[in-house]
Amino acid sequence: MYAGLFLNCSDGPARAKVNGTASCNCNDHMCAECLATFVSLTEPSAYDPALFQRRNPYSQAFWKLVAKNSTTKNRDLIFNRRGVRYSVLDELPNWLAAKRSPGEPMHVVVLGDTAFIHKDIICALGMFNPH
pLDDT for residue 19: 83
| Nearest partner of 82 among 3, 5, 21, 16, judged by Cα | 21
Return the pLDDT at 64.
Answer: 93
Give the pLDDT score at 103. 61
* 55 neighbors 34 (Cβ within 8 angstroms): yes
> Three-state DSSP class for 21?
strand
DSSP symbol at 122:
I
**One pLDDT digit (tens) per residue for the chain, 131 residues:** 455 555 556 677 777 888 888 877 777 887 777 888 888 878 888 878 888 888 898 999 999 999 999 999 999 999 999 999 999 888 888 888 777 776 655 555 655 677 777 777 777 777 666 65
CA distance 94 to 33: 17
pLDDT score at 128: 67
What pLDDT sits at residue 119? 77
Predicted pLDDT of residue 58:
92
> What local confidence, expressed as pLDDT, does residue 84 receive?
92
* Number of helical H runs and strand E runs in the chain: 6, 0
- Quick one: pLDDT at residue 81? 92
Q: What integer pLDDT is reported at residue 116 of this predicted model?
A: 73
